[in-house]
Each structure stands twice: as C-alpha cells, then as structure tokens.
C-alpha cells in the first residue's frame, strides 16, 4: 500500500487558506491592542473612526457595507462609542428608518492622537512592501466578498 502524499488530505491545517488569515487577525489584534488602548478604542471602533475621519456623517448601513459588518454587530458597537462621547447617532430627517453616525468634537480630536497608529504595522517595512501586501489582501477580500455574496 503506497503512502499518501501530504497534499492528498484537504483537511491538513497547512493547506488551509483560512488558518493563516485567522492567525494574522489574532496577531494584528495583539499588535494593535496596546496602541489602541491608549486611545480608548477597540480595533472595530478604530475601523469605524477611520471611516468617519474620511467622511461623515455615514449611515449605519454604509458603515456596515464598508467594514463588512452586519447591523447586529455594528449597532452595539456604535452605542458604546456614543456612550464614550466619540460619535452621535441621529435619525435621518429625510428617512426616519436610517440612523446617521457623526463624530463628536471628542471623536474628531482623537484623529490627531491616532496619527501614529498606522506605523504599528509598517515598522521596518518599505512603503512599497506595505502597499504590495495591502493590495494582495484587498484582492483576497474582494474574492471572499464575491463568494459570500453568491452564497
């Protein structure tokens, strides 16, 4: 009986695409955690702030689409951010079903304090190397989002 080759088993951990992504996410959370704690933010809250620092106000739906988060995840997160004084949540006067999210003065001021956060991942890497990595990950996200939309 011939021995099976390693790649004949599709359930080997080393053959999975999901595992290195999972490991990378955990390691990124560990890396960013201490830096974001200084700002009083969790990683998902930081992502919301990044979107709002780009453009505000945003609807909850637009934030969810941009961050690949459903409203069941996003709403409690936004409520905590509102309680911390970082964002305001108001009904859209043109459509009461939509909730608009905007930065407060405190949330806007936090931007200057967060300017060093991107350096957390870039330390010791060339700008080109960081951009290349970011582009590969974007392509993977697009592929996975397309598959999720079909599912």
- Full-model pTM: 0.86
Measured distance CA(145)–CA(139) in Å, rounded:
10
Confidence band, pLDDT 50/70/90 cuts, at residue 5 = low
pLDDT at 33: 94
* Domain edges within the chain: 27-117, 125-151
Q: What is the CATH code for 27-117? A: 1.10.10.10
- Token reading at 80: 């905590």
Q: Rounded to 5 degrees, what angle do the CA atoms 135, 65, 88 make? A: 115
Instruction: Please report which confidence band the pLDDT of residue 6 belongs to, taking 50, 70 and 90 as the band edges.
Output: low
The tokens for 15 are: 């053959």
Question: What phi and psi, each to the nearest 5 degrees, are found at residue 98?
Answer: -95, 140
Cα distances from 121 to residues 20, 56, 68, in angstroms, run 17, 26, 21
Average pLDDT, the chain: 91
Structure letter (DSSP) for residue 4? P
Between 36 and 122, where is the model more confident?
Answer: 36
Q: d(Cα 34, Cα 49) in Å, to the nearest integer?
A: 17
Cα Dmax for the chain: 73
- For 75-91, how does the pLDDT look when each residue is reduced to its tens digit (9 = 90+)? 999 999 999 999 999 99
């Amino acid at each position: 009986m011939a021995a099976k080759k390693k790649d004949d088993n599709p359930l080997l951990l080393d053959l999975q695409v999901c595992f290195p992504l999972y490991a990378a996410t955990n390691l990124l959370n560990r890396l960013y955690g201490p830096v974001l704690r200084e700002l009083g933010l969790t990683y998902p809250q930081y992502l919301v702030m990044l979107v709002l620092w780009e453009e505000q106000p945003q609807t909850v739906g637009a934030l969810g689409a941009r961050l690949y988060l459903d409203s069941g995840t996003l709403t409690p997160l936004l409520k905590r951010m509102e309680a911390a004084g970082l964002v305001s949540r108001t009904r859209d006067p043109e459509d009461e079903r939509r909730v608009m999210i905007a930065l407060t003065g405190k949330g806007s001021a936090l931007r200057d304090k967060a300017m060093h956060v991107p350096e957390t991942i870039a330390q010791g890497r060339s700008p080109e190397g960081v951009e290349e990595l970011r582009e590969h990950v974007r392509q993977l996200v697009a592929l996975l989002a397309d598959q999720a939309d079909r599912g």
